Amino acid sequence: MSRRVQLLLGAVILVVNALQWVIVEAVASAAWTEPPYSYAANYISDLGVPECGAQFQGRDICSPLHTAMNASFVLEGILFATGMVLLAHLVTGRARRAVIALAIAHGVGMVLVGLFHGSPDGPSIGLVVHAGAAGIGILCANTLVIMAGALRNLGLPAAYRAFSITVGSLGLLSEVFVGLSPSTAGVFERGGVYSWLLWSVVTGALLLVKNRRDHRVVENVVA
């Protein structure tokens, strides 16, 4: 596979991955009606809990489309890791190895999130694995986002680097405040997740535009 194809495929995967998560989450939350799902108070993981009628930390749990949400968690881990490994050729040396290691760790973490749901009625070990895997996934993804801003050899604008560092930092900071209040837990958790999803869309789109522009320049030179 040529470097250009790797770049194109990696960029497309990042965009598709972010979109599939947001769409599945929206559909799953819309199907949760009694009581209505709250983006502010409910965790994203609540959408993957199989039991209906359970209560966890004062929240009533009932997600009819839990299977779809758990599948989205697993798919996100696989796609994000794949996309980042494909794009890792943009950097070299230790940075490249770090990108690959963080991407794979994130991927494994998110797959475990989908396989071990956050149900309070499930085995205690399952809940521990779920929480730990989610923490690893969020930490690794946001660290990758910050790294993308710190690296200068991606060929992307300075504004993009500032964007990456800011978004990744805010993503990590958001997780610190998740336990601040039950009414805002979902808001801060999403701050730590939507950060890398937004970054994925922006990065994928910029790389696709850059690749198209560079290809046109080459065609003009050859012509």
Cα 83 to Cα 102: distance, rounded to the nearest angstrom? 12
pLDDT band, residue 143 (cuts 50/70/90): very high
Cβ neighbours of residue 156 under 8 Å, at least 6 residues apart?
A: 206, 207, 210
Cα 185 to Cα 111: distance, rounded to the nearest angstrom? 22
Total count of domains within the chain: 1
Average pLDDT, the chain: 89
List pLDDT tens digits, range 194-205: 999 999 999 999
Which pTM was predicted?
A: 0.90
Q: Measuring CA to CA, how many Å separate 140 from each of 1, 21, 161?
A: 27, 18, 18
What would you measure as the largest C-alpha separation in the chain, in angstroms?
Answer: 67
Structure tokens at 4: 């250009």
Domain span at residue 209 reads: 3-222
